[in-house]
Amino acid sequence: MGSLVGHVLPGIGFLLIGLWHLFNHIKLHALHPTSYTTMTWFPTSKIRHLELFFIMAGCTASVAMELFVGPKQHQPFAPDGTIPYNHLHNFEHASISMTFFTYALLSIIIDRALSSHAGTTQRLAQHGLTHFLGAIAFGQELLLFHLHSTDHAGPEGQFHLLFQLIILVALIATLVGIGFPNSFMVSFIRSLSIFFQGVWLIVMGVMLWTPALIAKGCRMNYEEAHYVVRCDGEASLHRAKSLANLLFSYFVIGIAVFGVYIYLRLVKIYGENEECFSHGLKADEEQKESTGDVESQSKINESYKSLGRFELLPR
């Protein structure tokens, strides 16, 4: 992951998944505001587990790049079978991908195992288990980035520290979703945080591995088989970290504006459909009530007629 491509490609994956979740959660809530239930993944019409297959494929490619394609010897071990120090970060990144792969695989297994049992208890169990697995994946990601073996003392460390804040938000939202399955805001925040992870990974890749965009007084330095950003002095380092903080704050504002804009646009589209659907149901109910009134009135008339015939009979 310690390169431009190594950050941009995973970032695109997180970005697409975040957008997919954001779109589907808003659409689902707009169409069914009273019966909305949060989900960690969304089935598609033709391939039910397409999202989970996409995650598994991306994770497989990431593990292959970290452990077999990236290393010069195309394998991460030393001649004596140990893990070299300069390959520890490869195993850490691969472990994150393995955790997300496990989440996707187990979600498919759980869905197929419980799909034939459509009871309320099974649905609640599936909801809780998939959220638990998602929380494990985000927790593993946060832990390994926080305890990273690579020296993140410079500007790269500040970018990664801010990245951990985004992961923490996703982790908390996923855990809260277990206890509040009908909360739209929990799903909305989690979707935006996943999207933000993708955006910030791309930003890190571009800002840290594009020489022209590196902060003034800092430069790229080749250390331990990969490039890192080092600054000339304390003032340059402080300035680079401050610029990273400013950039992050601007992206927080931009992501918030983007999320609200997408929500308003989709609610305008699908909210009207839900409103028309509700009006249709109301019209059907009124029609049934009016039909019922007519039938009741007919029965009353027939009863009066029968009563009249009964009174005209000779005693």
Sequence ranges of the domains in the chain: 4-211
Q: How far apart are the C-alpha atoms of 175 and 169, rounded to whole Å?
A: 10
Amino acid at 86: N
Region 81-94: mean pLDDT is: 86
Straight-line distance from the first to the last Cα atom of the chain, in angstroms, rounded to the nearest whole number: 104
Q: What is the pLDDT of residues 2-24, one digit of tens each?
A: 688 889 999 999 999 999 999 99
**Please, are residues 220 and 239 in contact by the beta-carbon 8 Å criterion?**
no
* Average pLDDT for the chain: 85
Sequence-ordered alpha helix ranges (H) in 71-183: 88-114, 120-146, 155-179
Burial of 159 (0-12, 13-18, 19+ CB in 10 A): buried
Q: What is the largest CA-CA distance in the chain?
A: 121
β-bridge mates for residue 219, sequence order: 230
Helix (H, G, I), strand (E, B) or coil at 10: helix
Sequence-ordered list of residues with C-beta below 8 angstroms from that of 199, at least 6 positions apart, any chain: 11, 15, 251, 255
Amino acid at 285: E
* pLDDT of amino acid 142: 96
- CA distances (Å), origin 288, targets 45, 278, 297, 300: 34, 15, 14, 18
**SS3 call for 147:** coil
Sorting pLDDT into bands at 50, 70 and 90, what band is 186? very high
DSSP symbols for 211-271:
GGGSPTTEEEEEETTEEEEEESSHHHHHHHHHHHHHHHHHHHHHHHHHHHHHHHHHHHHHH
| Burial (CB count <10 Å: 0-12, 13-18, 19+), residue 34 | exposed
Q: What token pair was written down for 116?
A: 């034939």
The model's confidence at residue 117, banded by pLDDT at 50, 70 and 90, is: low
pLDDT digits (tens, 9 = 90+) for 230-252: 899 999 999 999 999 999 999 99
The pLDDT assigned to 88 comes to: 86
User: Does position 271 have pLDDT exceeding 90, yes or no?
Assistant: no
Q: Provide the β-strand partners of residue 226.
A: 223
Question: For residue 242, what are its two tokens?
Answer: 């401050």
- Rounded Cα distance between 182 and 81, Å, is 50
pLDDT of residue 302: 47
d(CA 141, CA 14): 13
State both tokens at 298: 């007919």
Report the alpha-carbon distance of residue 284 to residue 274 in Å, rounded: 15
Please tell me the distance from the alpha carbon of residue 149 to that of residue 224, in angstroms, as a whole number.
12
- Per-residue model confidence as pLDDT tens digits over 152-169: 678 989 999 999 999 999
Contacts of 92 (CB under 8 A, 6+ apart): 144, 148, 149
Contact 255, 269 (CB under 8 A): no
pLDDT reading at 228 higher than 90: no
Of 62-76, 131-145, 231-245, give the lowest mean pLDDT range.
Answer: 62-76
pLDDT band of residue 298 (cuts 50, 70, 90) is very low
